[in-house]
Structure 1
Amino acid sequence: MRGFPAEGTTPEGQTVQMLGLADAQQISDKVVMTAPVWAIVLPLLDGSRTVDQVVSQVGRGLTRPMLEQLLAQLDDAGMLEGPRFAQMLAGVHADFDSQPVLPPGSTAAFADAVAHQAGVPQDAPEHERHAVAVREVPKLLDQWIAHALKDAADPALTALPKAIVAPHLDYARGWINYAHAYGRLRVADRPDRVIILGTNHFGRGTGVTACDKGFSTVLGACQADQGVINGMRHLLGQGLFEHRYDHEREHSIELQLPWIQHVFGKDDSGRYPAVFAALVHDPCVNDGASYDGAGVALAPFVDALRRVLAELPGRTLVVASADLSHVGPAFGDPQRVGGDEPAAVEARRKVLAHDREMLELIEQGRHAEMVSSMSWQQNPTRWCSIGCITAAAMITGPTSVRLLNYNGALDSEGLSLVTSAAMVME
């Protein structure tokens, strides 16, 4: 469950602050609106207390009928574990397993926005919006690439690198680093497969979580690489795919697809490069093991993938779909990060200095030291993609790692700063 600020209206027409509640795993698409005061109660609804125990612990005038009313709302929305949630979850799992290729999620919204910007009404038929998006999305990606690389000393890589690092920010905030990473690959050798390593933002997997599906966007479908999937299943078992459902709406994988499709195009048989996707946990938390010891650890995953790729023909590109620091009041920090106030300027300086220090370790091939440093510091700026960056370096063993571009996305109110980078591993 995740909370977010929202506004409501009283019967008298007055605007009041509300607390919106939504399913972080997106199993349920319902939203519950309630009073902000319930924020102190929600952490107690973890299954370890009875209703009466929660009421007693909170006090402050809370009564059992009041709490039961909230619980009924949450249960109806599928936000409490129980029969209603189990029914929703079973439906999601059945739908997922019935499809060889996952439908677009976040990229579908992007395609609709591009079509609307091109003059198509938002209520136009789907086929009309789709036709315009197919035409306009590649144009927009080319515009972003041209802008990002217009002053670059090295705008193209003639040889396919072993790996790249690109953001998984929404395109509005991250386009420049997507363009810096993918734009340089336009004339490189075309890969036969792309391994996309992402971050498990909301799923249930506690270790590396792989997917046995392909992925689709408005530009078409990238089929799953069955050779990689079969090889990984043989070496690591079905446990690697147990939480494959975490990929259903995971944007860190999907947002790479339009760029891969646009830059590399289709082969003579009309197919885009095949893909294999895996979400990598944070190796700082449990020294690379899964969070609970039951999931797939980082080291055996890397070893297995290296063995599988060594036996398969063709060229492979690894993509680490990575965002870096997440700071500001939106992420729980007391200090605003926007504006010219000395404290805000100093906060941004510290973030940039920390990012620079960690990126230099990656560039120097010292990714293990980067993980150790992050672990010792307790990841002070909330890098969310240490796992996939580390895995990409371990899988490919690059002799050279270069930072192509670094950027920070600051919101208009100065409440959040998210940084990202474009990198190449050769």
Structure 2
Amino acid sequence: MSFSDLPEHLQMPALRGLQPIPIKKGDTPLVLLRDVFALSEETVAIPPQIFALVQHIDGSKTAEEIAKATNAPPEQFIELLQKLDSVGLLWGPTSKKLEEEKLSDLKSIGYFPAKASATLGEDGDACKAAIQKWFEETEDPEIEETITGIVAPHLDYNRGWPNYASAYYAWQNAEAPDRIVILGTNHFGNGDGVVLSTLGFDTPIGTANIDQKVVQSLESKLGSGVSVDVLDHSAEHSIELHLPWIQYCFGDVPIVAALIPSPLIEMIEDDGERTTTDEFIRALGDTLSEVGGTTYFVSSADLSHVGPQFGEPRPVDDQRKFDVERHDREMMAKFMENDADQFIEAMKWNNNATRWCSIGNMSAVLKLANPSEIELIDYRQACDDRGAVLVSSCAMMLS
């Protein structure tokens, strides 16, 4: 087969979102190409030198141009493209069909199966025991006001539990609201606008169901574009990691879950097909006024991401930790001024120097919760022993 015989989407190939994971088969190093959406049960593992070739498959060059530029044997490169396509790792009709099949399966059960939350415990009792233990190890923030919103991390539980526990502490004995709005970050998905979930989320504790009345109202106001990329939630952890904490505190409370884009990144094409954050905030505010009841808000937010894992040239040392904390506290102070637009402007001014990943949902929570007071409860940095990666997070309460 020659390049001209390939279908159109393989003649100008483009990779979909994937995570490269170094593995070994015996003594042979390989790179596992993990599809974040898990569209196919089949996986692809390739030698590191071939992965260097794969990185050229970005939709900007023809397959023939890539092969010539990398000295790849044409027949072998064509076989590689066909393999990547067969498991849904390339944009085109194959991946579209696999996406449709996966979404159909999810709609038939009505929820996203537990993934990130399953790391908390093997069953509901184990999850509740872990959360209770962490609460017992956490100092009471002694907040007397009614807490209507929190900022808490979406780090894995091992690194993030102190700030999860600090943020949720005051909700342990609070009366359950009518719903909780959880705003997350779209780390791996395709949507560059707001992505609303129309499906619930399973955890080891049980299924967190969506507030159907609110979600249907939002789709009516905003159109199908607000949920067209709902499959993004299957690859995302920033919503799901909070659900066991919510279930522990409030039981079976309905949720409204949405992924909020960064206000520092423009949409690929402002064609009106997707929902902007401002449009979503207006529609959700109107809807909540219409349905009534009590609504609490969760901003699922990690702060700085620094170190060689994020492209920095040197390992994280004590001076870098100090500088990051100083910057974080300056930006948290901006957030606590309770002016979402000024908070965004401050981040734009410094070009988000330390890669905060949740500016969008933090600013959205300010506008939606409209707090009279914001209190910082805790701030933490999680850094590995080699200084390869540092991620900071905080616990805040909004009242």
Verify same fold: TM over 0.5: yes
Amino acid at match of 2:298: V
- 2:364, 2:315 → 1: CA distance? 33
User: 1:406 touches 1:421 (CA, 8 Å); kept in 2?
Assistant: yes
- 2:43, 2:314 → 1: CA distance? 29
Report the Cα offset of residue 143 of structure 1. Answer: 0.8
**Matched residue, 2:277:** 298
Equivalent runs, 1:25-424 vs 2, <5 Å: 25-59=37-71, 62-112=72-122, 133-149=123-139, 152=140, 154-155=141-142, 157=143, 159-265=145-251, 272-286=252-266, 290-294=267-271, 295-337=274-316, 344-424=317-397
Query: How many pairs does the alignment contain?
Result: 380
**Matched residue, 1:124:** none
- 1:376, 1:42 → 2: CA distance? 35
Report the Cα offset of residue 72 of structure 1. Answer: 3.4
1:306-333 CA distances to partner (integer Å, 9 max, x unpaired)? 1111122221101011111111111211
Counterparts in 2 of 1:88 and 1:191: CA distance versus 1, 3 Å: same
User: 1:75 touches 1:85 (CA, 8 Å); kept in 2?
Assistant: yes
**Matched residue, 1:119:** none
Amino acid at match of 2:285: R
1:364-391 CA distances to partner (integer Å, 9 max, x unpaired)? 1133222112223222211111111110
User: 1:284 touches 1:372 (CA, 8 Å); kept in 2?
Assistant: no
Report the Cα offset of residue 291 of structure 1. Answer: 4.1
Any unmatched runs of 5+ in structure 1? 10-14, 113-132, 266-271, 338-343
Report the Cα offset of residue 213 of structure 1. Answer: 1.9
Report the Cα offset of residue 110 of structure 1. Answer: 3.0
- 1:48, 1:92 → 2: CA distance? 28
Report the Cα offset of residue 100 of structure 1. Answer: 2.7
Amino acid at match of 2:320: A
User: 2:307 touches 2:388 (CA, 8 Å); kept in 1?
Assistant: yes
User: 1:198 touches 1:320 (CA, 8 Å); kept in 2?
Assistant: yes
Q: Secondary structure at the match of 2:124?
A: helix
- 2:144, 2:345 → 1: CA distance? 35
1:185-228 CA distances to partner (integer Å, 9 max, x unpaired)? 11223211000100111111110110112222121222211221
User: 1:402 touches 1:424 (CA, 8 Å); kept in 2?
Assistant: yes
Say which is worse superposed, 408-417 or 195-204, in terms of deviation: 408-417
User: 1:323 touches 1:418 (CA, 8 Å); kept in 2?
Assistant: yes
Report the Cα offset of residue 17 of structure 1. Answer: 3.5
Q: Secondary structure at the match of 2:31?
A: strand
Any unmatched runs of 5+ in structure 2? 1-17
Amino acid at match of 1:274: P
Amino acid at match of 1:4: I
1:72-107 CA distances to partner (integer Å, 9 max, x unpaired)? 332333212344423321211111222333332222
Amino acid at match of 2:383: L
**Matched residue, 2:22:** 5
Report the Cα offset of residue 29 of structure 1. Answer: 4.7
**Matched residue, 2:30:** 18
Counterparts in 2 of 1:361 and 1:136: CA distance versus 1, 3 Å: same
- 1:17, 1:334 → 2: CA distance? 24
Q: TM-score, normalised by structure 1?
A: 0.84
**Matched residue, 1:125:** none
1:207-255 CA distances to partner (integer Å, 9 max, x unpaired)? 0110112222121222211221122122211211111121123211111
1:32-79 CA distances to partner (integer Å, 9 max, x unpaired)? 2222223432232123432221122234xx321332243233233321
**Structure 1 residue runs of 4+, over 4 Å off?**
none
Counterparts in 2 of 1:264 and 1:159: CA distance versus 1, 3 Å: farther
Q: Secondary structure at the match of 2:235?
A: coil
1:338-386 CA distances to partner (integer Å, 9 max, x unpaired)? xxxxxx2222222111111110101111332221122232222111111
**Matched residue, 1:123:** none
- 1:148, 1:372 → 2: CA distance? 34
User: 1:320 touches 1:392 (CA, 8 Å); kept in 2?
Assistant: yes
- 1:335, 1:324 → 2: CA distance? 20
User: 1:160 touches 1:190 (CA, 8 Å); kept in 2?
Assistant: no
Report the Cα offset of residue 420 of structure 1. Answer: 0.8
Q: Secondary structure at the match of 1:314?
A: coil
Counterparts in 2 of 1:402 and 1:291: CA distance versus 1, 3 Å: farther
